[in-house]
Structure 1
Amino acid sequence: MAKPKKVKITEKAHWYSHHSEAGYTKLARLLENDIVHTWVDAQNNVVLDFMDVDLLKLLLSESGLENKQFHIIFDLNLVTDISYSYKRAITELLYHWQPFLGLVCFYNVGSQMSVIVESFAAVAPVNIRVLQADSYQDALKIVLAFKANEPLSDDNDVKDFLYNSELKRQFLGAVARMTWLNILDYPIYIPDADNEYYPFFQAIRALHSDLKAKEIEKEKEISLLKQTYEHRITQKIIKMNAQAQIGTQYIQDLEKEVAELSSRAAAQELELTRVSTAIAEKTNALGNLLDQIHALNIDSALKREMTDACMKLLDTEKIEKRLNIELTESDSFFLTKLQKKHPNLNQRELRISLLVKLNYETTEIARSIGISTRGMESIRYRMHKKLGLGKHESIKTYLSDLATAFHA
């Protein structure tokens, strides 16, 4: 091959990728119009952790090579090994970037990297050349000769893996396909039985069969796990839907109860308004009656008796009026809850319960409902039983505690 001419070099400050954890920086530049030159800048030997696909795409895009053939020169100085993910990535590069990738040439290849480079060559598609050179100048000569369709294998400083031992190529290719690419359907080449390398290829075939069987078992395990978790997820969804339905029903029941309470409260408020109006009318009537009694020319003792009777009625009406005015929304709520808890209480007993809770005296309550104090005691005795209280339990204490519980 002829000595390479002076080439055009294009460099850009952002054509690099820093690998902080691995301790190196990958740099790249463009030679001529279609040769990507890449190398590693580091203080010590490094292991390449992942391939800089984005950097390559950026360089190709900014150089107008997205849909054109390009070539790669890769300096492996300071590189002692590459990670599994890098092996997969660079192998996929050889396949997924064709037909645009033409030739890949590695140089400064150490002894530890030699087998890896040969393995890349072994698995590369037939239309992509993977070569190895000693130096940058040699690598550049190779690429320029390849572009000019000149022969590549007549120099001692060029290592063309196409001309290496076919058995070695087959062996490295089989190993790389199984380990890097996880390709288990590709047939394993087996030489003749009398070949000295026959046992090695048989071992590779056995390993290939074992890996394939293991892959099948793994797929079965994954399928079983998938079915198990899908069943669990389905059960969870069913349970969640059931809980959601219960919650919805509970909310509907609460809304219904609130509506019923609101309706009953409105009815009670209407009744209280009616009672208040009736009390006011009765009070006015009693006042008029007193005026008429005072105007009568009758026996003074009889007049006093009639006046006292009217005054007692007026006192009762005043108490009724005061009780109705003090009845709040909270009291209505208490009566509703009490009736629900003790449905055996009649309307008069419910009213007495409210007045007891509001701390009214027995005489006031008796006068309010139009009975004697003794009659009031009899009612309280019956209520004591209806409420299920013990002998020494107080109705007033029970009702107060109940009111607190209702509002908790």
Structure 2
Amino acid sequence: MKFTEFNFNENLVEGIQASGYEDATPVQEQVIPLVLQGKDVIASAQTGTGKTAAFLLPLINNIISAPIDHHSITALVIVPTRELAVQIAQHMEGLSYFTSVSSIAVYGGGDGNAFVQEKKALSAGADVVICTPGKMLAHINMGYVKLQGLKYLVLDEADRMLDMGFYDDIMRIIQALPAKRQNLLFSATMPTKIRELARKILHHPEEVNISISKPNEKIIQLAYVVYDTQKIPLVKYILGQKEFSSVLIFCSSKISVKQLNRELRRTTLKVDEIHSDLEQSKREEVLMHFKSGRLNILVATDILSRGIDIDNIGLVINYDVPHDGEDYVHRIGRTARAAADGTAITFISVKEQRKFGQIEKLLGRTVTKVPVPEQFGEAPEYNPTAFIPRDGKKSGKKPFRHNKDRSVNKR
């Protein structure tokens, strides 16, 4: 199903297209119409099935389309960790970029400036607030959070929140919300305690059960565990070992795309880049050159992970680990199309080990780890369960801005 078939607001459609989305995943195809119809939903969907867009897109569309209280929070998305809050907020920012819908992430571990920004947003009113339970409850207990106009409540990764002991915090937050609202609950598993929670907060919910899609069995999946400084030399090494018909390299940021393209252009390789900084006409020109064979290496952001229709891509390199399992499947699915075989190689840096471990768990298989060639020096060991991400100050959160067009967190 195409995203154009949902009849979203044209400004939201522009954000969807800019984010590189064309075809809806199964969870999006089932959940979005239910949310647009105003129904409560309980969905069994793991991280990596596309569930974030499944609730963000209809929420954004409804906020654009219906009258709202501009001095209140309209939608509250509760998640278990600050990492997930930041990730969803970034997703929200991209999808809502061409709309006036405002958003902010609220989570613990920030400094005084972050608290001031959060207080300003929560007391002035924001369209969508993505938060962790403890930090949100702390703000609510201080008495300035405007919730009188709230219309939507989303509990994401509900099973994980209960495992982490957030049940009481969640129920206290819910007690502060208007009784009349639309509720969406997402959980990877549906144990008894989740069913009990659903009975308490959902009203005649529709139930959706989704499992993650699997990659084509013909794809040879490999991975290198590396330090960040080893990535560019290793790309050059891999490209020099064998001649591929065409190679697609995915990076998670425009900065990485530009840097890698610049380095590869210093060799004899025919390479170019695609990312959102380029005009549409330039993107189309580069893609046409890639399809025709004038270029055989394309470095891109996830703008190309969905919908690119080229059958002869022999190698996909994930220069950075994708955000989740669904993105991983979409990226590597660009190879081994039609009757062809293909190879997908992923670089796993130290800070990405936990994320890749989650992807392997969702896929139900271990991806073969290839030793880094000795000439590149010692490489890190792969131990995703032992790695704990550093909680640094650079969280990726952007300042809250509240103005007449309610434009918050805009790039």
Structure showing greater radius of gyration is 1
Q: TM-score, normalised by structure 1?
A: 0.22
Q: TM-score, normalised by structure 2?
A: 0.21
Structure in which a larger fraction of residues adopt helix: 1
